[in-house]
């Protein structure tokens, strides 16, 4: 599995010939625009953690142009059907998983909020546990740490946990250390930082803090790719 970071919370997964985008905030994302253009991406699936503009991003345009399957909560999928005219959607809700051929995606809890840029209610915010033959990836979404993460750590053999670290709107450094303890992942990749002034952060300090806590931090710069090899 190849995991590529576009900045903020936008990631791309390539696995088994499928291309999956997560929270594709590309247009207007100062970190992403220098490394990728939304109109060059041809995803098979798009996973959206919640409806905030910095995650929903280019979802409508990408879905319309490519016909990609959009996996998100019920309210987001209904918005796509109703407001965008995009029918290829798969609604999930907290704790629910769907088998998608290239892997299984399970919707996890996130302690946050969710509304569309136009103010429409965006359902519960979430995260995704993504299980593929080439490894298990946890995308926490926008959240604080929460105790159920310990269950995720027990129930899944997580290769990479992607956690927000920018503080202000999500957990910061300390919170991500607590989350990492619970998740017990082989590697921890930070996201949701440096995009805007309120979430500027020192990733070297974060890495040091993580290593001191016995974790394996892996900072990705926008455009970076991480090869995730199967460990089982």
Binding site for Mn ion (CB under 5 A): 54, 142
Q: Is 190 exposed, middle or buried (0-12, 13-18, 19+ CB in 10 A)?
A: buried
Closest Cα partner for 129 from 148, 105, 151, 111?
105
User: 194 touches which of Mn ion, Ni ion, none (CB within 5 to 8 A by kind)?
Assistant: none
* Residue 1 or 48 with smaller CB distance to Mn ion: 48
User: 173 touches which of Ni ion, Mn ion, none (CB within 5 to 8 A by kind)?
Assistant: none
* Residue 54 or 194 with smaller CB distance to Mn ion: 54
- Minimum CB separation from Mn ion for residue 211, in Å? 26
- Minimum CB separation from Ni ion for residue 127, in Å? 12
| Cβ atoms < 10 Å from Cβ of 42 | 12
> Which single residue brings its beta carbon nearest to Ni ion?
52
**How far is residue 133's CA from residue 169's CA, in Å, rounded to a whole number?**
33
* Residue 160 or 199 with smaller CB distance to Mn ion: 199
* Residue 106 or 170 with smaller CB distance to Ni ion: 170
- Minimum CB separation from Ni ion for residue 52, in Å? 3
User: 167 touches which of Mn ion, Ni ion, none (CB within 5 to 8 A by kind)?
Assistant: none
* Residue 94 or 216 with smaller CB distance to Ni ion: 94
- Minimum CB separation from Mn ion for residue 18, in Å? 25
- Minimum CB separation from Mn ion for residue 56, in Å? 10
**Residues near 117 by beta carbon (within 8 Å), at least 6 away in sequence:** 52, 53, 56
Return the bridge partners of 90, or none.
Answer: 71
**Residues near 88 by beta carbon (within 8 Å), at least 6 away in sequence:** 63, 67, 68, 69, 70
**How far is residue 216's CA from residue 208's CA, in Å, rounded to a whole number?**
10
């Amino acid at each position: 599995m190849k995991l590529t970071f576009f900045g903020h919370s936008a990631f791309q997964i390539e696995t088994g010939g499928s291309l999956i985008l997560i929270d594709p905030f590309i247009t207007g994302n100062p970190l992403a625009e220098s490394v990728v253009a939304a109109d060059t991406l041809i995803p098979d699936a798009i996973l959206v953690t919640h409806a905030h503009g910095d995650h929903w991003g280019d979802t409508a345009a990408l879905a319309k142009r490519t016909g990609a399957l959009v996996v998100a909560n019920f309210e987001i999928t209904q918005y796509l059907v109703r407001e965008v005219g995009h029918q290829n959607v798969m609604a999930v809700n907290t704790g629910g998983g769907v088998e998608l051929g290239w892997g299984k995606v399970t919707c996890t809890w996130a302690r946050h909020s969710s509304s569309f840029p136009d103010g429409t209610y965006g359902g519960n915010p979430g995260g995704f546990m993504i299980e593929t033959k080439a490894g298990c990836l946890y995308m926490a979404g926008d959240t604080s740490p929460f105790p159920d993460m310990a269950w995720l750590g027990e129930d899944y053999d997580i290769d990479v946990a992607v956690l927000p670290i920018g503080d202000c709107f999500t957990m910061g450094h300390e919170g991500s250390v607590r989350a990492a303890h619970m998740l017990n992942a082989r590697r921890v990749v930070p996201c949701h930082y440096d995009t805007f002034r309120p979430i500027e952060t020192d990733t070297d300090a974060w890495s040091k803090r993580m290593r001191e806590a016995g974790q394996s931090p892996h900072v990705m710069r926008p455009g970076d790719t991480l090869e995730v090899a199967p460990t089982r």
